[in-house]
Amino acid sequence: MTTRRLLATLASLAVAAVTLTGCGPSGSDSSADGPVAENAAYDPNATIGIGSLYEPTSLSNVAGAGQGLTEAFYGNVYEALFKLNDDGSVTNALADKATTSDDGRTITITLVDGVKFHSGKSLTSADVVASYERAIADDAQGSRKSIYKSSIASVTAPDASTVVFQLVEPWISFEYDMTYLWIVNTDAGDLKETEDGTGPYVFEGWVRGNSISLKRSNDYWGPAATNGEIVFHYFTDASALSNALLSGEIDVIAALQSPDTLSQFEGNDDYVVNDSPSTTKELLAFNDHAAPFDDTRVRRAIYSAIDRKKLLESIWGDHGMLVGSMVPPTDAWYVDLNAVNPYDPELSKKLLAEAGHADGFEFVLDTPTYDPHPAVAEFVKSELAKVGVTVDINLISADEWYSRVYEKHDFVATLQEHVNDRDLAFYARGRDMYFEWDDADFIRLFNESEHAATLEDQTAKLVEANTLMAHEAASVWLYLYPQIVVSSADVTGYPLHGLNSQFYASTIQKSERG
């Protein structure tokens, strides 16, 4: 395309400031910037009710269980070698020490001593090797699977407490990407309905369609949880979720999804409302190998036909923000690319005509049934009708979305929220990812960024890749969600940012009067 030769120059002028992350001691505080003020009169055995719209489909993180499993289990039941904190920093977790060779191709990790799985078995390096092999298995689902396979030559266990990662090339994001590798017991077997992790909670029970309960582990290797039990309560309706907090059924809403209910909590001393930066993007995603969306002009036409500012205001009011790509402002390689695909119905019509669709066309929009997707779908349908494009909304369950859209790529267009930070990686998976965008230049830039010598070089590569993706309109990035966490006033210590949908619970405290 004619704009592509300009992208490297544009990117070099827009390199964002680099955010440095470092390693801290094992067992470090998981809520680096959450409301962790000490509650002097807290009940150490309290049950904390957390409300969510995202019930997992299984308890296995390699079976495509959805963001609900990360929310409930990551950092609570399972841990990784390194931990992604709520403020975006990366610190040691099960890794006590990590040493990198002079050529950057060998990373040797010493495990924390004395860690046991919930079954009572001691953690060894063999469990780390097995967890890695589990994550890259042919049937495994995971956003970092392709990166692991392309970046790691071998993982070995020279002794019970040492793991050696032999890399294909130096890998600047190694510690961050290892936060996705959940360490499980080698001997645990099928983990779709049970668990055997090392975290501060043990799995207590799952009432499908209702709740998941976690009980404090009395044998945890790190600081004990400041509550006795966590119960994740699941709702299919955002208003019902808010009502559960009002009624006292739950103590915290992990991520408020009903902006209309905010007025019930704001200015009310019984509740605390936290509005923080988010990494969750609302996408109108195309199958980029299915006509007519295999044509960049059509994708850009759809983008410019939608008044995204009006959409955001209609869904979230004064909350949230517009983004012009998959990259949120919390990533160091963020640049404001909203102007690349402006709201311009006349430009949309022009692009459609150039692509041979002067009279428009019709397509099916597979839409998850939970909020806010149905409302977003109706807005998109109304906007596209103005440029002659007909949208047929097909409401589907979360399970059908996963099995048909995500796994089989059997769709033309869909709506979905993507929660991860640094998730340009999804587009680097090419046709393995459901939107099937396999731009060779983008994939090359992303891979080069992973093996950059410095953070500055990595950022420059990702800015260039990000800019290219926006010009190609690989998807329509409709808006960035706000991260609104609402709690009862007698509860403190919960995370605020919801990075990658994780919700660390071990520092939550509830007043004894609650």
Quick: pLDDT tens for 382-402: 999 999 999 999 999 988 998
Residue 513: the pLDDT is 61
Using pLDDT thresholds of 50, 70 and 90, give the confidence band for residue 29.
very low
What's the whole-number mean pLDDT along residues 49-55? 94
| Most trustworthy range by pLDDT among 5-19, 317-331, 348-362, 412-426 | 348-362
Mention every residue, 6+ apart, whose C-beta is less than 8 A from residue 345: 304, 305, 386, 387
Is the predicted pLDDT of residue 83 greater than 90, yes or no?
yes
Is the predicted pLDDT of residue 326 greater than 80, yes or no?
yes
Residue 40: the pLDDT is 65
Is the predicted pLDDT of residue 61 greater than 90, yes or no?
no
Is the predicted pLDDT of residue 132 greater than 80, yes or no?
yes
Is the predicted pLDDT of residue 30 greater than 60, yes or no?
no
462 or 191: whose pLDDT is higher?
462
pTM of the complete model: 0.79
Is the predicted pLDDT of residue 24 greater than 60, yes or no?
no
Using pLDDT thresholds of 50, 70 and 90, give the confidence band for residue 421.
confident
Give 211-248 pLDDT, tens digit per residue. Answer: 999 999 999 999 999 999 999 999 988 889 999 999 99
What's the whole-number mean pLDDT along residues 494-503? 86
Average pLDDT, the chain: 89
Q: What is the DSSP letter of 74?
A: B
Residue 34: the pLDDT is 44
Least confident of 42-46, 156-160, 423-427, 508-512: 423-427
Give strand ranges (E) for 176-329. 201-207, 211-216, 229-234, 252-253, 271-276, 281-286
Give the percent of the chain with pLDDT over 90: 70
Using pLDDT thresholds of 50, 70 and 90, give the confidence band for residue 32.
very low
Residue 38, Cβ density class (10 Å: 0-12 exposed, 13-18 middle, ≥19 buried) = exposed
Using pLDDT thresholds of 50, 70 and 90, give the confidence band for residue 60.
confident
Residue 27: the pLDDT is 34
| Most trustworthy range by pLDDT among 23-32, 83-92, 109-118, 248-257 | 109-118
Mention every residue, 6+ apart, whose C-beta is less than 8 A from residue 122: 114, 115, 116
76 or 66: whose pLDDT is higher?
76
Contact 508, 226 (CB under 8 A): yes
Single-letter code of the amino acid located at 442: F
Residue 341: the pLDDT is 98
Give the percent of the chain with pLDDT over 70: 92
Is the predicted pLDDT of residue 183 greater than 50, yes or no?
yes
Residue 420: the pLDDT is 79
314 or 36: whose pLDDT is higher?
314
Residue 57: the pLDDT is 87
Using pLDDT thresholds of 50, 70 and 90, give the confidence band for residue 39.
low
Is the predicted pLDDT of residue 338 greater than 50, yes or no?
yes
Residue 21: the pLDDT is 30
Residue 254: the pLDDT is 93
Residue 38: the pLDDT is 59
What's the whole-number mean pLDDT along residues 125-137? 95
For residue 447, give both structure tokens: 């891979």
Please tell me the distance from the alpha carbon of residue 481 to that of residue 484, in angstroms, as a whole number: 9
Is the predicted pLDDT of residue 479 greater than 50, yes or no?
yes
Residue 17: the pLDDT is 32
CA atoms within 13 A on the CB side of 443: 14
Residue 122 three-state SS: strand
Report in angstroms the alpha-carbon separations of 53 from 66, 84, 94, 206. 11, 23, 30, 15
What's the whole-number mean pLDDT along residues 264-289? 93
Please tell me the distance from the alpha carbon of residue 175 to that of residue 514, in angstroms, as a whole number: 39
Domains defined along the chain, listed by start: 42-77+199-270+489-513 (3.40.190.10), 78-183 (3.90.76.10), 278-482 (3.10.105.10)
What's the whole-number mean pLDDT along residues 95-104? 96
Is the predicted pLDDT of residue 458 greater than 60, yes or no?
yes
Least confident of 24-33, 211-220, 369-378: 24-33
Residue 184, Cβ density class (10 Å: 0-12 exposed, 13-18 middle, ≥19 buried) = buried
What's the whole-number mean pLDDT along residues 20-47? 54
Residue 412: the pLDDT is 98
